[in-house]
C-alpha cells in the first residue's frame, strides 16, 4: 500500500478525531460529570458555527471571530442553562432528553429564521489556505494541521482543568452528590452554569473550526452529536482522557474504513458485492467498533473512577 | 450561636418537625437523642437548608440562615458529617478531603490536611483510592475529616460512629472530646447515650418531631425512666 | 390496590373512545384524512407501549427500538416483493424475525447499563439500518412499495378495506394495552420493575434478573414488530427510514411526553405528539419554534409527562 | 386547486424555497387563473423524508381535496407518495425527481415528469467527458438512490477507465478528507462528483484546499447552480469559474419564455433562478395548458391527460416533447460557470451534448390506456 | 422447594481477593455451622464485607473455594446461592426505594416460590405472596409501615426492612452485614432477640461492630485483620486474646 496515502489518511483520521474530541469533551463534562443528557449540545455546535461565522464575516477575520465567539458562546451556554436546564439536573435522563430535544427544535428553527435555510459559508483567510509539505512527499492542507494543533492544546488544558484543579474536583463532587456538595459549601448552581458555559464554548469552537471546511448548515450538529456520544461511551463516561483516546480512535477507524475498506473487501468478495457492501460496512464501522468495545468492556475503555466498586 | 426556633418542616404533605426548638452556644457540645424516625436527621437537614422550613427561624450568630441556600449556610460556618457518610464516590480520598476544604474564618491554625491524616491514619493509607472503594468505617472517618477541613464554627455529626470498629469509635469520641476542649461547638446525634452523657453539655430528646426533654448530662443520667421511655435504653 | 379515578383515567378513556369513533366522526364531518392520521397514531402508540414496557418499567432505555418497526415492516415488504402476500406467512415471519433479532441484540445489550445500554442499542439498530440502506434489491433508501396488503384469506379480515384495516389496528392496540397492564402487575412485572430500581438487590433475593430482562426485551421487540407489520400495511410502503435513529428517538419522546411507566402514557404521548405536530405544521412551517418550547414546558411543569400533569402516579395495581 | 409538495424545512429547504418562489411567480404571470378557473396552490412540506412526504401528499388529497399534485424534489419521496395520488385517480406531475422505476416498469398513465429522468443528465456528462478526452475518472457521490443513478448514468456512457469510486454517507457526510486523499493518490485525469444542495460547495472548497483544483479538473451535474454559486462566490472559490457540467437548461437560454422568467425572477427575488425553479415554473404552464384544454373541467382526467401528452405550452427550455413514458425528450447542453455582467456568478449554456434524448427506461414502460 | 440437607455448613477454603495492591482476603478459611451464630469482627477495612460479597456470589474470589451444604458453590452466581438457602443483607442499605415496604418483601417471597415467569395474575393481589410478607413485616416491627414507600422510611426503619427482605427468601443460612448499624437501642435489642430465636433453625454469619450484640449472640467468633483471620474461637477466648484486643477491641471492653 502507498505509505503516503496511509499517512495522509492517518492525519485525516486524526483531524476528524480532534473535532469529535472537542464535541465529546463538552459532552463528557455536561453529561459524564454533571449527569445531564444534553441533546442540544449539537445545537451549540451549530450555533457556534453560525455565531462564530457571522462574527468572522463582520470582523473579516477568522481569528478575531473565534476569539469573540468564546465569550458569546459562554454567555449563550450560561443563558440556556439558567433558563431551561437548571431545574433538570435532578430529573430523570428521559425528562432531560425530552426537554433538550425541544431545545433542538427551537434552535434549528430560530437559526433558520435568523440566517435563512441556506446556511453560512465562512471563507478561510489567505494565510491558512493551501497545503504544507510535511516531508517524505506528504503534503497536507495547512488548515487541517492548524485544527489538529488547536485540538491538542484544548485537550491538554481541559485535562489539567478537570483532573488537576480544585474546580474539577468540585464539579465532580457536585455531580455525584449535589446535596452533599451544597452542604459542604459548594455553590452548585454557579458551578454548573460555569461548566455548561465551558461545554458550550467547546462545542461552539468545534462548530466554528469546521465551518471553513464544511460550511454552517442547520442541523449540522445532530450527526456529530451521535458520534460524540459514541466517543464518550467508548472512552468511558466522564473521562476527558477517555474521550480524547476514543475520539482519535473513532476518527481514525472511520477514516480508514472509508479509505481502505473497499480494497480490503475486494480480497474476499467479488467486485460487485464489494462495491455495494463497502459503503454500508464503512458507515457501520464505528458502530461495530462501539458495540465490540462495549461487549468486552461494558464501561468503556477508561471507566470512570468509582464505577467498579463492589455492590 | 445556633438557634432553631419553632421550626415546622414537611416532606411533601407530611409534617415531620413540629415547633422544633434547639440552641447551641459556642464551645458547647449538644446532642439530639431519640428513637428511629423521630426527626433528628430532618432537623439537621433543615438547619442545612436541604429541607426548607415552613415556619420558624434558624439563626447562626444572630443572622438568619433559614432562607439561605445550603452552600451559603455551610460557608457561614456549619460543617456536616451526614447520616450514611455520603462520600463522593468519583473523587479520590485525597480529593474528597481537599475539594471542599476552607481555611478557618477566625484565623488561627485550624484543621489542615496533615492533621486530619494524623487523626485517621487508616484514611491516610488510601489517599489515591476512589471514595467508594473504602470500607464502611473508612468512609465514615473520611466524612468526618472532610467536615473538619471546612473548619466550621459548628460541627454537626449525624450518627458519625455508625459502623465503626470499637477502637475507632473510641478515637472519635476522643476526638470529639478534644474538639470540645479546643472550643469547637458540636451538635451530635448518636445512639450511644452512655458515651454522649460523658461528653456533652446539653441533651435534647426528640420525639415525633418535637423536643420533649432538655437537660444536662447529670439530669439525663439521673432519670432512668426518661431513658427507658424515649430512648429504649 | 386502591384505584382512584384521576383525570388521567378519564382522559385515557376518552382517548380510547375517540380512537374507536374516529371513522364515524371522520365520515360525519367529511374529513377522511383523519382516519389515516389516527390509524398512524395508534400504530405509533403500539410501538411506544412496547418501548414503555422495557424503558418505563424495566429501565432499559432502547435508542434503537424503531429497528423492530423496520424489521416487522420489511418482513411484509420483502415477502410482498416476492409475491408472497399471505398474512399467515408474513405475520409469523415478522414476529419470528423480531423475536430472533431482539434475542440476539438483548444478549449483547444487557451486559451494559445506563447510557452504555442506550448507545449499544443505537449501534445495533444503526447496523440494521445501514444494511437496509445498502439492500439495492429492495430499493435501498428509496424503500419498497407494497402493492397488496397482507392477505388473511377467507375474507374475514380484509385489510384492503380501510375500515377493517383501521379496526384491526385498534384491536391490536387494545390488546397491547391490556397485555402491558397484566404484565406490569404480575410477578414478572414485579421483577422487571424491581430490577430497574436495584438490580443487585433482586439478585440478592435469589432472582436471576438477566433472563427476565431478556424476556421483556424480546416481548417488546415482538410487540414493536407487530406495529411495523401494521405500519407497512397501512402505508403500503417500507423504507429504511422506518428504523432511522430519529424514529427511535421519537418513540422515546412520545413515551416520555405521555408519561413513562404509566399504562396509558404511551398512547397519550403518541396522540399529543403526532396530533400537535399535525396541527401546528398546518399553521406555520416554523412550527418547531412553538413545538420545541412546548416540550420543554411539559418537562418543567409536568413531572411524569402529560399523565403526570393529569395526576397519575406510576402504575401500581 | 393544485397541491405542490416540496421541502420547506431542513437544510434542503433552500431548494424548496426556489421551487415555491418559481410557482408563485408563475401564478403571477398567469394572473392566478387557468382557463376559467382561479388557481389555488397548496404547499406540502416533505421534511426531506419519504414518510413525511407521503403524509403531506395524503393531506393534500384527502383533506385539501386538491385536483392535481405536483412538485417532489426527492426520488424516494416521490416513489412513496405516487401511489397515494395515482390510486385516487388524480394526475401527478414531478417537477424534479425522475426515478427509474416510474420511467420504466412502474410508469403510469397519470404520472408525468416535467424535468428529466435521473440518468439523462449524467449520461450527457459521460458524453461530455468522452468529448473532452478524459480517459481516467474518479467518482465521488452520496450513497443514496439518486447518487447511485448519477454514477450509473455516467458509467453507462463514459468510455474511459473508472479508477476509483467512493459512495459516501448521505446526507450527513460533509468532510471528504479521506476521499480527497484517495483521489490525490489515484491521480485521475478527471473527477466526477455529484452533491446536490449546500454539500456541493463544501466539496469543491475542500477540493481546492487539498490543492487539487489546479491539477485535476472537476466535473459535476447539478452541483453548480444558482443556489450554490453565490456561496462559491462568497467563499471566493474562483476555481469553479469555467467549471463544466451538463443540463437541459441554463438561465441564459435564449427564448422568450425563459427571458421573461429569468428577468422577472431576478427582479422579484434578487437572485438567479435555479433549474429547480425553472422546472417548477414550467410545471405551472404545463398544468395550465391541460386545464385550458378541458375548459376548466378538471374532473375530466382523460382530457387533461391527453393535453398533457401533447405538452403544448411555452417552456423555458424552448422546445421539447413528452416521451412515451411521460418523461421529456429533450436536449442536454454543456453548461459553464461564468461571471455575468453584474459580476454575479452564473452558468451559461453551451453546445448541445445530447440531442432529443430519451431516457433508457422508456422501453420498459407498458402504459395501460 | 427442594429438600435441603439438615446440616448446612458454610465453609470458606483458602479465599484470596486482591483489589489492586490491596489484599482484602488472604488465605481466608472458616467454617460456619448450621444452628450457630458465627460472628466475624475486625477493624474497618479488614475485609469483612468483601468476605460476604464472596460468600454470596457478588465477588469472585481470586482463588480458593466456597462450600455450602456439601456442594462447591464457588462458581454459582448470586441468585442460585439464594435459591439454595443462602441469603444476605447489605451493610449499606439496599432496598427498592420506589417500592412500598410491602412490595419490598413480596418480591423475595415470590422468589422463593420459584420462577417469576407469570404474566397474568396480579402479584400484589396474591395472598400467597402478601400473606407471608405481612407476617414477616409484623415480626420485624414494620407492620404499620407496609404502604409507605421504602425511600421515605427513616434510616433505622430502612435497616429493619433490609433484614426483612433477606429473611423473606426463607433462607437456611443468613449472611448479615452489620444488621444493627443505625438502629436505636430498643430496636437493637429486639433484633438481638429476634435473631437469637432464628438460631435454632438457621445458620448465621454475623458481621457487627456492636460488641454487645456480638457477645450476646455469637457461638463462635473469627477476627479478621487485613484480610487474614488472626483468631477464631469461642467468645470468651476471643475476649481474652491480647492480639485481638490491641487490634480491635481496645481497652474499653474488657
Ligand atoms: N424523603 C422523605 N420523604 C418522606 N418522609 C421522610 C423522608 N425522609 C424521612 N422521612 C420521614 O420523616 C420521619 C423522620 O425521619 P428522620 O430521618 O428525621 O428520623 P431520624 O430521627 O433521623 O431517624 P434515624 O434514627 O432512624 O435516623 C420518619 O418518619 C421518616 O419516615
Ligand atoms: N471494589 C473495591 N476496589 C478496591 N478496593 C476495595 C474494593 N472494595 C473494598 N475495597 C477495600 O478492601 C478493604 C476491605 O473492605 P471491606 O469493605 O471488606 O471492609 P470491612 O471489613 O467490611 O470494613 P467495615 O467494617 O468498615 O465495613 C478496604 O480497605 C476497602 O477499601
Ligand atoms: Mg437519622
Ligand atoms: Mg463492611
What interface predicted TM-score (ipTM) does this complex get?
0.86
**Domains in chain E, CATH or no CATH each:** 8-85+171-254 (3.40.50.300), 94-170 (no CATH)
Segment D216-227 mean pLDDT: 85
Distance CA C256, CA D166 (A): 40
- Check if the beta carbon of residue C110 is closer than 8 Å to that of residue C121: no
CA-nearest of E149, A295, E117 to C197 is E149
- Between E180 and E67, name the one with better pLDDT: E67
CB proximity A121 to D under 8 Å? yes
Ordered by start, the domain boundaries in chain A are: 3-219
pLDDT, one tens digit for every residue, chain A (311 residues): 578 888 989 999 999 999 999 999 988 888 877 888 888 999 999 999 999 999 999 999 999 999 999 999 999 999 999 998 888 888 888 888 889 989 999 999 999 899 988 788 888 888 888 888 887 778 888 999 999 999 999 999 988 888 888 998 898 888 888 889 999 999 999 999 999 999 999 999 999 999 988 888 888 888 889 899 999 999 988 888 899 999 999 999 999 988 888 888 888 888 777 777 778 888 889 899 998 898 888 888 988 665 443 33
pLDDT at position A308: 40
Q: What is the pLDDT of residues A288-311, one digit of tens each?
A: 999 889 888 888 898 866 544 333
pTM, entire model:
0.89
CB proximity E141 to B under 8 Å? no
* Facing residue for C293 by CB, picked from A106, A112, A291: A106
Q: What is the pLDDT of residues B103-144, one digit of tens each?
A: 876 666 788 999 899 888 888 998 998 888 888 788 888 999
CA distances from A94 to A99, C197, C257 (A): 9, 15, 9
Phi-psi region of A298 (alpha: psi -120 to 50; beta: other; left: phi over 0): alpha
Looking at the structure, give the CATH architecture of the domain made up of residues B2-225.
3-Layer(aba) Sandwich (3.40)
C231 located within any domain = yes
Strands B14-24 and B78-81: unpaired
Distance CA D207, CA C54 (A): 48
Distance CA C65, CA C102 (A): 10
Does E174 score more than 70 pLDDT? yes
Interchain proximity B36–E155, CB inside 8 Å: yes
- How does residue B193 score in pLDDT terms, banded at 50, 70 and 90? confident
Interchain proximity C186–E169, CB inside 8 Å: no
CA distances from B94 to A136, B78, B143 (A): 49, 21, 12
Whole-number Å distance, alpha carbon B16 to ligand 1 midpoint, is: 8
Does D110 score more than 80 pLDDT? yes
CA distances from C176 to C65, C170, C211, C260, C264 (A): 16, 10, 22, 16, 11
Specify the ligand 1 atom closest to the Cα of B44. Answer: 18
Whole-number Å distance, alpha carbon E148 to ligand 1 midpoint, is: 12
Q: Do chains B and D touch (3 or more CB pairs under 8 A)?
A: no
Low-confidence ranges of chain C (pLDDT < 50): 1-3, 314-317
C64 located within any domain = yes
Local structure of B93: helix, strand or coil: helix
Closest A-chain CA to B72? A185
Interchain proximity E83–C316, CB inside 8 Å: no
Local structure of A109: helix, strand or coil: helix
Which helix (H) or strand (E) segment holds residue C238: the answer is strand C237-238
- Check if the beta carbon of residue A18 is closer than 8 Å to that of residue A180: no
Neighbours of chain C (3+ CB pairs under 8 A): A, D, E
pLDDT at position C1: 35
CA-nearest of D317, D297, C33 to D307 is D297
Q: What is the pLDDT of residues D133-143, one digit of tens each?
A: 999 999 999 88
Whole-number Å distance, alpha carbon E164 to ligand 4 midpoint, is: 19
Instruction: Give the bridge partners for C145, in sequence order.
Output: C237
- E253 close to ligand 2 (CB < 6 Angstrom): no
CA-nearest of E85, D273, E29 to C205 is E85
Average pLDDT over all residues of chain B: 88
CA-nearest of E46, E47, E145 to E105 is E145
C306 located within any domain = no
Peptide bond into D171 cis (omega under 30): yes
C7 located within any domain = no
Closest E-chain CA to C314? E98
Distance CA E224, CA E48 (A): 7
Measured from the alpha carbon of residue E142, the closest ligand is 1
Phi-psi region of B191 (alpha: psi -120 to 50; beta: other; left: phi over 0): alpha
Segment B55-80 mean pLDDT: 93
Segment D350-366 mean pLDDT: 90
Contacts of E125 in chain C (CB under 8 A): 1, 185, 317
Amino acid at each position: 500500500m502507498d505509505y503516503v496515502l496511509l499517512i495522509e489518511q492517518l492525519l485525516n483520521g486524526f483531524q476528524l478525531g480532534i473535532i469529535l474530541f472537542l464535541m465529546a469533551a463538552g459532552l463528557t463534562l455536561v453529561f459524564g460529570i454533571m449527569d445531564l443528557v444534553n441533546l442540544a449540545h449539537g445545537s451549540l455546535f451549530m450555533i457556534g458555527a453560525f455565531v462564530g461565522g457571522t462574527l468572522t464575516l463582520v470582523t473579516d477575520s477568522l481569528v478575531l471571530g473565534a476569539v469573540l465567539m468564546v465569550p458569546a458562546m459562554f454567555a449563550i451556554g450560561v443563558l440556556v442553562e439558567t433558563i431551561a436546564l437548571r431545574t433538570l439536573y435532578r430529573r430523570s435522563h428521559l425528562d432531560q432528553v425530552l426537554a433538550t430535544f425541544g431545545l433542538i427544535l427551537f434552535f434549528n428553527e430560530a437559526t433558520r429564521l435568523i440566517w435563512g435555510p441556506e446556511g453560512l459559508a465562512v471563507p478561510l483567510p489567505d494565510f491558512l489556505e493551501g497545503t504544507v509539505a510535511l516531508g517524505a512527499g506528504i503534503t497536507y492542507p495547512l488548515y487541517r494541521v492548524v485544527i489538529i494543533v488547536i485540538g491538542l492544546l484544548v485537550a491538554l488544558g481541559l485535562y489539567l482543568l478537570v483532573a488537576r484543579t480544585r474546580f474539577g474536583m468540585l464539579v465532580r463532587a457536585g455531580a455525584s452528590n449535589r446535596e452533599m456538595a451544597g452542604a459542604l459549601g459548594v455553590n452548585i448552581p454557579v458551578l454548573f452554569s460555569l461548566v455548561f458555559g465551558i461545554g458550550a464554548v467547546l462545542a461552539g469552537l468545534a462548530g466554528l473550526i469546521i465551518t471553513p471546511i464544511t460550511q454552517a448548515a442547520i442541523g449540522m450538529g445532530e450527526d456529530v452529536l451521535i458520534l460524540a456520544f459514541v466517543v464518550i461511551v467508548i472512552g468511558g463516561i466522564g473521562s476527558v482522557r477517555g474521550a480524547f483516546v476514543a475520539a482519535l480512535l473513532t476518527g481514525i477507524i472511520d477514516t480508514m474504513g472509508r479509505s481502505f475498506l473497499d480494497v480490503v473487501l475486494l480480497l474476499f468478495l467479488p467486485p460487485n458485492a464489494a462495491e455495494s457492501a463497502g459503503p454500508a460496512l464503512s458507515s457501520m464501522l464505528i458502530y461495530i467498533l462501539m458495540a465490540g468495545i462495549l461487549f468486552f468492556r461494558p464501561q468503556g475503555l477508561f471507566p470512570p473512577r468509582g464505577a467498579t466498586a463492589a455492590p | 450561636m445556633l438557634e432553631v426556633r419553632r421550626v415546622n418542616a414537611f416532606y411533601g404533605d407530611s409534617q415531620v418537625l413540629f415547633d422544633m426548638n434547639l440552641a447551641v452556644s459556642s464551645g458547647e457540645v449538644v446532642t439530639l437523642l431519640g428513637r428511629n424516625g423521630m426527626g433528628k436527621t430532618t432537623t439537621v437537614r433543615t438547619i442545612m437548608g436541604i429541607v426548607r422550613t415552613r415556619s420558624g427561624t434558624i439563626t447562626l450568630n444572630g443572622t438568619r440562615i433559614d432562607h439561605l441556600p445550603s452552600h451559603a449556610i455551610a460557608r457561614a460556618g456549619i460543617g456536616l458529617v451526614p447520616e450514611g457518610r455520603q462520600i463522593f464516590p468519583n473523587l479520590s480520598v485525597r480529593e474528597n478531603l481537599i475539594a471542599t476544604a476552607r481555611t478557618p474564618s477566625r484565623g488561627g491554625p485550624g484543621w489542615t490536611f496533615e492533621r486530619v491524616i494524623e487523626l485517621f491514619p487508616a484514611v491516610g493509607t488510601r489517599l489515591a483510592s476512589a471514595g467508594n472503594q473504602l470500607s464502611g468505617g473508612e468512609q465514615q472517618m473520611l466524612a468526618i475529616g472532610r467536615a473538619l477541613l471546612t473548619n466550621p464554627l459548628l460541627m454537626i455529626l449525624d450518627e458519625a460512629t455508625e459502623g465503626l470498629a470499637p477502637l475507632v469509635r473510641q478515637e472519635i469520641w476522643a476526638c470529639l472530646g478534644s474538639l470540645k476542649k479546643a472550643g469547637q461547638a458540636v451538635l451530635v446525634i448518636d445512639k450511644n447515650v452512655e458515651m454522649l452523657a460523658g461528653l456533652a453539655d446539653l441533651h435534647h430528646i426528640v420525639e415525633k418531631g418535637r423536643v420533649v426533654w432538655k437537660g444536662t448530662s447529670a439530669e439525663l443520667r439521673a432519670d432512668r425512666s426518661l431513658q427507658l421511655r424515649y430512648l429504649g435504653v | 390496590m386502591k384505584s382512584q379515578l384521576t383525570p388521567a383515567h378519564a382522559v385515557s378513556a376518552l382517548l380510547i373512545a375517540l380512537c374507536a369513533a374516529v371513522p364515524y366522526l371522520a365520515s360525519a364531518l367529511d374529513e377522511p384524512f383523519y382516519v389515516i392520521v389516527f390509524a398512524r397514531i395508534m400504530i405509533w402508540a403500539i410501538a411506544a407501549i412496547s418501548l414503555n414496557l422495557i424503558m418505563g418499567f424495566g429501565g432499559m432505555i432502547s435508542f434503537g427500538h424503531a429497528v423492530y418497526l423496520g424489521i416487522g415492516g420489511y418482513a411484509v415488504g420483502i415477502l410482498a416483493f416476492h409475491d408472497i402476500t399471505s398474512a399467515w406467512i408474513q405475520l409469523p415471519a415478522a414476529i419470528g424475525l423480531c423475536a430472533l433479532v431482539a434475542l440476539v441484540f438483548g444478549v449483547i445489550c444487557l451486559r451494559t447499563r445506563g447510557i452504555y445500554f442506550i448507545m449499544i442499542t443505537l449501534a445495533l439498530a444503526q447496523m440494521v439500518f445501514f444494511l437496509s440502506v445498502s439492500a439495492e434489491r429492495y430499493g435501498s433508501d428509496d424503500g419498497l412499495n407494497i402493492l397488496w396488503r397482507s392477505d388473511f384469506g377467507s375474507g374475514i379480515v380484509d385489510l384492503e378495506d380501510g375500515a377493517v384495516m383501521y379496526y384491526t389496528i385498534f384491536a391490536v392496540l387494545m390488546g397491547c394495552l391490556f397485555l402491558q397492564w397484566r404484565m406490569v402487575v404480575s410477578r414478572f412485572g414485579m421483577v422487571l420493575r424491581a430490577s430497574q430500581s436495584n438490580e443487585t438487590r433482586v439478585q440478592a433475593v435469589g432472582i436471576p434478573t438477566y433472563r427476565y430482562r431478556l424476556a421483556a426485551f424480546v416481548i417488546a421487540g415482538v410487540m414493536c414488530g407487530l406495529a411495523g407489520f401494521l405500519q407497512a400495511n397501512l402505508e403500503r410502503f417500507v423504507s429504511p427510514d422506518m428504523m432511522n435513529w430519529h424514529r427511535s428517538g421519537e418513540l422515546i419522546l412520545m413515551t416520555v411526553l405521555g408519561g413513562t411507566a404509566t399504562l396509558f402514557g404511551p398512547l397519550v404521548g403518541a396522540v399529543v405528539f403526532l396530533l400537535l405536530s399535525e396541527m401546528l405544521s398546518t399553521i406555520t412551517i416554523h412550527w418547531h419554534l412553538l413545538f420545541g418550547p412546548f416540550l420543554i414546558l411539559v418537562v418543567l411543569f409536568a413531572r411524569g409527562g402529560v399523565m403526570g400533569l393529569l395526576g397519575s402516579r406510576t402504575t401500581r395495581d | 386547486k393544485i397541491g405542490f409538495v416540496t421541502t420547506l424545512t431542513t437544510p434542503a429547504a433552500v431548494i424548496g424555497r426556489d421551487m415555491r418562489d418559481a410557482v408563485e411567480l408563475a401564478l403571477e404571470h398567469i394572473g392566478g387563473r387557468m382557463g376559467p378557473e382561479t388557481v389555488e396552490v397548496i404547499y406540502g412540506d416533505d421534511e426531506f423524508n419519504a414518510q413525511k412526504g407521503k403524509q403531506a401528499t395524503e393531506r393534500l388529497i384527502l383533506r385539501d381535496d386538491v385536483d392535481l399534485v405536483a412538485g417532489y424534489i426527492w426520488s424516494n419521496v416521490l416513489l412513496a407518495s405516487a401511489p397515494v395520488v395515482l390510486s385516487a385517480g388524480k394526475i401527478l406531475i414531478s417537477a424534479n425527481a425522475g426515478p427509474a422505476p416510474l420511467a420504466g416498469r412502474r410508469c403510469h398513465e397519470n404520472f408525468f415528469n416535467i424535468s428529466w429522468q435521473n440518468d439523462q443528465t449524467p449520461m450527457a456528462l459521460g458524453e461530455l467527458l468522452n468529448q473532452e478526452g478524459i480517459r481516467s475518472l474518479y467518482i465521488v457521490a452520496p450513497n443514496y438512490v439518486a447518487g447511485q443513478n448519477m454514477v450509473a448514468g455516467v458509467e453507462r456512457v463514459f468510455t474511459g477507465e473508472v479508477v476509483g469510486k467512493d459512495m459516501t454517507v448521505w446526507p450527513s457526510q460533509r468532510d471528504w478528507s479521506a476521499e480527497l486523499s484517495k483521489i490525490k493518490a489515484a491521480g485521475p485525469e478527471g473527477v466526477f462528483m455529484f452533491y446536490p444542495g449546500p454539500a456541493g460547495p463544501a466539496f469543491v472548497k475542500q477540493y481546492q484546499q487539498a490543492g487539487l483544483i489546479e491539477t485535476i479538473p472537476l466535473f459535476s451535474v447539478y452541483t453548480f447552480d444558482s443556489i450554490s454559486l453565490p456561496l462559491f462566490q462568497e467563499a471566493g472559490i474562483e476555481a469553479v469559474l469555467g467549471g463544466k457540467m451538463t443540463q437541459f437548461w441554463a438561465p441564459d437560454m435564449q427564448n422568450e419564455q425563459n427571458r421573461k422568467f429569468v428577468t422577472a425572477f431576478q427582479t422579484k427575488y434578487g437572485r438567479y433562478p435555479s433549474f429547480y425553479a425553472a422546472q417548477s415554473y414550467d410545471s405551472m404552464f404545463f398544468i395550465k395548458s391541460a386545464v385550458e384544454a378541458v375548459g376548466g373541467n378538471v374532473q375530466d382526467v382523460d382530457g387533461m391527460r391527453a393535453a398533457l401528452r401533447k405538452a403544448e405550452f411555452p417552456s423555458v427550455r424552448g422546445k421539447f416533447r413528452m416521451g412515451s413514458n411521460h418523461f421529456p425528450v429533450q436536449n442536454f447542453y454543456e453548461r459553464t460557470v461564468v461571471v455575468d455582467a453584474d459580476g454575479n456568478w452564473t452558468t451559461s449554456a453551451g453546445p448541445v451534448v445530447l440531442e432529443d434524448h430519451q431516457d433508457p427506461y422508456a422501453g420498459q414502460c407498458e402504459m395501460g390506456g | 422447594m427442594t429438600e435441603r440437607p439438615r446440616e448446612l455448613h458454610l465453609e470458606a477454603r483458602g479465599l484470596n481477593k486482591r483489589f489492586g495492591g490491596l489484599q482484602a482476603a488472604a488465605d481466608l478459611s472458616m467454617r460456619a455451622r448450621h444452628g450457630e451464630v458465627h460472628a466475624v469482627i475486625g477493624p474497618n477495612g479488614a475485609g469483612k464485607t468483601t468476605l460476604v460479597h464472596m460468600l454470596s456470589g457478588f465477588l469472585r474470589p481470586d482463588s480458593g473455594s466456597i462450600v455450602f451444604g456439601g456442594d462447591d458453590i464457588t462458581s454459582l452466581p448470586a441468585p442460585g446461592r439464594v435459591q439454595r438457602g443462602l441469603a444476605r443483607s447489605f451493610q449499606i442499605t439496599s432496598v427498592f426505594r420506589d417500592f412500598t415496604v410491602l412490595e419490598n418483601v413480596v418480591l423475595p417471597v415470590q422468589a422463593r416460590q420459584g420462577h417469576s415467569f407469570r404474566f397474568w395474575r396480579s402479584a400484589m393481589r396474591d395472598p400467597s405472596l402478601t400473606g407471608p410478607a405481612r407476617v414477616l413485616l409484623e415480626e420485624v416491627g414494620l407492620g404499620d409501615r407496609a404502604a409507605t414507600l421504602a425511600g421515605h422510611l427513616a434510616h433505622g426503619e430502612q435497616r429493619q426492612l433490609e433484614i426483612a427482605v433477606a429473611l423473606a427468601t426463607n433462607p437456611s443460612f443468613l449472611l448479615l452485614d452489620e444488621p444493627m448499624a443505625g438502629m436505636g437501642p430498643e430496636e437493637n435489642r429486639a433484633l438481638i432477640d429476634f435473631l437469637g430465636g432464628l438460631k435454632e433453625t438457621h445458620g448465621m454469619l454475623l458481621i457487627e461492630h456492636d460488641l454487645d450484640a456480638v457477645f450476646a449472640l455469637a457461638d463462635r467468633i473469627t477476627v479478621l485483620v487485613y484480610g487474614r483471620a488472626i483468631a477464631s474461637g469461642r467468645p470468651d477466648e476471643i475476649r481474652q486474646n491480647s492480639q485481638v484486643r490491641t487490634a480491635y477491641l481496645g481497652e474499653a471492653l474488657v
